[in-house]
Amino acid sequence: MSISSTLVERAEIEFHEAADALRPFVGCFWVITAQRDAIIRVVPDGSTAISIQLQEGRASEWCLRGPLIRPDERRFTSAATLVGIRLRPGVAFLLSSIPAHTMVDCRLALSRIAAFEDLVASTPRPLTPERCIDVLQRFLVRRLADASLHRVVTAALDEIERTHGCVRAPDLADRCRVSSRHLHRLMRDWVGYGPKCYANVIRFQATLHDMEHVPRRTAAALAAGNGYFDQAHLTLDVSRFAGATPARLASEGVADFSKTRCDDLP
């Protein structure tokens, strides 16, 4: 699974690698420089993000964007710079102790969350992308030292990603050696949605990957290759998660999502 699934228009993005100690928990730090009328659209991939927006005439504060179940699109009426990092599934709960299902499709101000008091208090002045990254990285290294996700959640995430989302929830619970009800509760608290929904998100991500790397593949072949019942089922899921049909995504260039993937950087 890619740690990032973002399409940017009229904006530039650059990456900064995270410290080795953070790599099990995060992707790369990113700096997005958005022009006026820029559009940034993030599609669901199970991750969350911590970011800060630097914009003239606007107060800057750290925010936590929860897991998505639908596309999150932001439009800019003036130039701005965004600095942040994508958190792998489960890490937002690890940091905040806030059940992830209460954050779905939400953006929370970290100044209102006690667990992030040190980060907010350490916000540098004047604000620059480099100083924001340094402060955020120091905070994450301190907070995530010796931390780990719940072992059942880790096992479930690994199995869902290994199968590209093509696994039934009861079978997943059996493989994790817990009841379906217990697994559903754990996944909602840690990841934001139950195992079936998370599997659908990962299957959607696998479909995006296929659309990018095999651009001439038919919708019927995509559906068959990614575990959908039929082409209509594929279109329904992709439209729900991406806000566009597979045909429209292909025509617009689904490869644009790769502009914000940093997993393969050296």
Average pLDDT, the chain: 89
- pLDDT tens across 91-107, in order? 999 999 999 999 999 99
Which pLDDT value is given to residue 116?
Answer: 97
Residues 6+ apart with CB under 8 A from 27: 3, 4, 18, 47, 85, 86, 88, 262, 263
Residue 257 reports pLDDT greater than 80: no
pLDDT over 50 at 109, yes or no: yes
Three-state SS string over 128-195 comes to CHHHHHHHHHHHHHHHHCCCCCCHHHHHHHHHHHHCCCCCCHHHHHHHHCCCHHHHHHHHHHHCCCCH
**Per-residue pLDDT averaged across 64-69, rounded?**
96
Residue 259 has pLDDT above 60, yes or no: no
Q: What amino acid is encoded at 97 in this protein?
A: S
Q: Flag whether pLDDT at 62 surpasses 60.
A: yes
Residue 258, pLDDT > 50, answer: no
Over residues 194-249, the pLDDT tens digits come to 999 999 999 999 998 888 777 778 889 989 999 999 999 999 999 999 888 888 87
Give percent above pLDDT 90 in the chain.
70
Q: What percent of the chain has pLDDT over 70?
A: 92
Q: How confident is the model at residue 123 (pLDDT cuts 50, 70, 90)?
A: confident
pLDDT, position 264: 44
Stronger pLDDT, 188 or 27, i.e. the higher one: 188
Return the pLDDT at 41: 87
What does the alpha-carbon distance between residue 80 and residue 58 come to, in Å, rounded to a whole number?
10
| Contact between 188 and 234 (Cβ < 8 Å) | no
Q: How confident is the model over 160-182, as pLDDT tens digits?
A: 999 999 999 999 999 999 999 99
Stated pTM of the model: 0.90
- State the pLDDT at residue 215: 74
On the question of pLDDT at 256 being above 70, the answer is no
Which has more confidence, 15 or 159?
Answer: 159
- Residue 61 neighbours by CB distance under 10 Å: 13
Mean per-residue pLDDT, 53-72: 92
